[in-house]
Structure 1
Amino acid sequence: MAAPAVHYVRIDEGSEGQRLDNFLIKTLKGAPKTLVYRIIRSGEVRVNKARASADTRLTLGDEVRVPPVRLPEPQTEAASVPAREFPILFEDEHLIAINKPAGVAVHGGSGVSFGVIEQLRRARPQARFLELVHRLDKETSGVLLVAKKRSALVTLQDCFRHRTAHKTYAAMVIGQWPVARKVIDVALHKFLTGDGERRVKAVAEDADEGRRSITLVKVVQQFSRFALLDVTIKTGRTHQIRVHLAHEGHPIIGDEKYGDFALNKALARGAMVEGLKFDRMFLHARELRLPHPVTGEELALMAPLPAECQALVDHLG
């Protein structure tokens, strides 16, 4: 194997605006973060021939000196990622809005070898930049944004951070939702279980570990044993909708983490709704409204209910 050598990278539009440390972590795939920060601190990394700090923002045309670093042999798993396109709701030169199916993670990690973004990159090898703007749980379907330029990524993420992106979800819950219950303002605390699994629980408003979380609920249709809701989140906490609705005594059907295990099993084997088996979580990101990252015009992105969810609604109705 050839010895590693110094190389120079010219910053293009795909890397413009990135912090130096994040750029190196991405460039030196497989390098431990401790190594990345060490070579920055030692001055081995240079930007335009000058020393730079980890938080230096890279600009178009900058030249980055990357010192010789011996990296682990590349893993072969990447080659096993299947190329996959997803249903497109909107696309231009700045972003893609896809309709993510349930059961597909948005990215690899935590026991998942690949997700939407890895499959999309594999399907579009010519794309110079594809990055997730936000996340959806693996079990949740619906509108998911992918940026095609770093400038679009930064602008779109600012929309989510500053609450100018408005997301509405369709959720089917157990029981009849009280129509007067329109706002859930309950703090949430994220923690890891003994097996290292990520979980969230509702906590008291004044709990040190809690973060204020607000969910708005509107009843779309009441059935005898279930309710179809439109849910809008004012804060984007992990598992927020799932935990808030369960905390109110109306868990989402099919939710394996916070739902009713026995009822979910009965639904899956067709024992709850005559003539229909339903075996997924009924949470769907049906609408996303936000300003376009370049024109500023409002984008109204809509994802119709998946066929299996629509079939359940039709059966119940």
Structure 2
Amino acid sequence: MVSISRIKDLGKEFPPRAVIKEVVGEDSNGQRIDNFLMKRLKGVPKSHIYQLLRSGQVRLNSKRVDAAHSLKPGDIVRIPPVRIGQDNPLSRKRIAKSALVSFEVLYEDETLMVINKPAGLAVHGGSGVSFGVIEQLRAQHPDWKFLELIHRLDRETSGVLLLAKSRATLVELHRQIRAGQVEKRYLTLVRGRWHNARQSVRLSLNKYVTAAGERRVAVAMGAGDEAGGMISHTVFSLKKSWQDFSLLEAELKTGRTHQIRVHLAHLGFPIAGDDKYGDFTLNKKLASSATKPGLERMFLHAFLVEVTHPVTGKSLRLEAPLAKDLQEFLNGLDGVTVAAGR
């Protein structure tokens, strides 16, 4: 095993060939452990890094932690030996200029970048098959010394996405998120007629892994403290109704994985187009030629994020108009009724 005292000399040895115990420094204060590992395990597929965390091969202060755990100076991260095959695409593949994505920039200054993320693009690249938002932007700005995601959006979710151009900005906005000082609002279309003008939903959520290795989230069984899981809170407001559908605004009070999707599915109002928790029969109908235009992805759009600027201290309200494909589908609902299957 490699001693802690030699960590500062090991930068060129990652991915490690022996167990390494790295002491977290001030520059990684507040960073998620998965992002911490991704920067150190260059070329290792993200799916494998998550598997290392789930299996307990990565440890923080000798304990298991989940991927979203935030680090503090002085923490000790155990990084196991990792072997990368010579044919790993990430070890040799670069983004061709023709494959670069042009992002709509909603806001940018020397410390912060905000884009309107398109649907169908992951925020992080997968196992070398494709490149995500962060890899795309780093390739487009090779002179930038720092660029990290402040938060995440699911692949099929479009809308406001924040990125930090400095470590201080990343740490401060992570602090605001943990303190509940960041406002996040989404627009989503659900199956069924929603009747309450405003409804607050508080449920405990548990993460689990399917037999196929996919991560999922479910509402914890039981009530109160017996339910276990992570408390999650969403406030839904009704924006418009059709015979079979409702357009809702979802305000996140907590930021759990798949929170909006699981809350709505549990209540019997699955998000249209949701391929994990939705109505699969309905999804096929919505994507067919029977509806013009059809809906070929999940109807979930992050339209507003409000934060306090980490440098100026002023409130920063960031908005992304509803994505074109989603707006066109809503326009079609005004003239065509699609029966919601159950």
| Fold shared, TM-score > 0.5 on shorter chain | yes
Q: What displacement does 1:109 show?
A: 3.4
SS in 2 for 1:77: coil
> Please, which of 291, 304, 310 is the counterpart of residue 321 of structure 2?
304
Aligned to 2:131: 114
Superposition RMSD in Å: 3.1
After TM superposition, the structure 1 = structure 2 runs for residues 25-36 of structure 1, keeping only pairs within 5 Å, are 26=39, 29=42
- What percent of counterpart residues are identical? 48
> Please, which of 256, 279, 295 is the counterpart of residue 275 of structure 2?
256
The answer to whether 1:277 aligns with 2:290 is no
Residues 270, 7 of structure 1: CA spacing in aligned structure 2 closer, same or farther, 3 A cutoff?
A: closer
> Please, which of 112, 116, 123 is the counterpart of residue 95 of structure 1?
112
Distance 1:294 1:98 in 2: 19
Residues 8, 175 of structure 1: CA spacing in aligned structure 2 closer, same or farther, 3 A cutoff?
A: closer
Distance 2:256 2:159 in 1: 17
Contact 1:85 1:119 in 2 (8 A): no
Contact 2:308 2:315 in 1 (8 A): yes
SS in 2 for 1:241: helix
Residues 75, 269 of structure 1: CA spacing in aligned structure 2 closer, same or farther, 3 A cutoff?
A: same
Distance 1:30 1:172 in 2: 38
The answer to whether 1:215 aligns with 2:204 is no
SS in 1 for 2:231: coil
The answer to whether 1:288 aligns with 2:298 is no
Distance 1:200 1:245 in 2: 12
- How many residues are paired up? 275
After TM superposition, the structure 1 = structure 2 runs for residues 47-86 of structure 1, keeping only pairs within 5 Å, are 55-56=73-74, 75-79=91-95, 82-86=99-103
Residue by residue, what CA displacement relative to the aligned partner does 1:138-178 show, whole Å, maximum 9, x if unpaired?
A: 11100000100111111111111111100000000011112
Aligned to 1:155: 172
SS in 2 for 1:195: coil
TM-score (norm 2): 0.72
Residues 251, 30 of structure 1: CA spacing in aligned structure 2 closer, same or farther, 3 A cutoff?
A: closer
| Larger of the two Rg values belongs to structure | 1
Residue by residue, what CA displacement relative to the aligned partner does 1:215-249 show, whole Å, maximum 9, x if unpaired?
A: 10000001111000000011111000001011111
Tell me which amino acid in the other structure corresponds to 1:76: R
> Please, which of 28, 52, 70 is the counterpart of residue 18 of structure 1?
28
Aligned to 2:186: 169
Contact 1:172 1:253 in 2 (8 A): yes
After TM superposition, the structure 1 = structure 2 runs for residues 102-251 of structure 1, keeping only pairs within 5 Å, are 102-109=119-126, 113-179=130-196, 182-203=199-220, 204-205=222-223, 206-207=225-226, 209-251=228-270
Residues 56, 308 of structure 1: CA spacing in aligned structure 2 closer, same or farther, 3 A cutoff?
A: same
Distance 2:185 2:239 in 1: 12
Residues 163, 277 of structure 1: CA spacing in aligned structure 2 closer, same or farther, 3 A cutoff?
A: same
Q: What displacement does 1:113 show?
A: 4.0
Tell me which amino acid in the other structure corresponds to 2:313: G
TM-score (norm 1): 0.78
Note the residue ranges of structure 2 that are not aligned, 5 or more in a row.
1-8, 13-24, 53-57, 59-71, 76-82, 335-342
Residues 27, 215 of structure 1: CA spacing in aligned structure 2 closer, same or farther, 3 A cutoff?
A: closer
SS in 1 for 2:189: strand
Residues 124, 262 of structure 1: CA spacing in aligned structure 2 closer, same or farther, 3 A cutoff?
A: same
Distance 2:28 2:210 in 1: 34
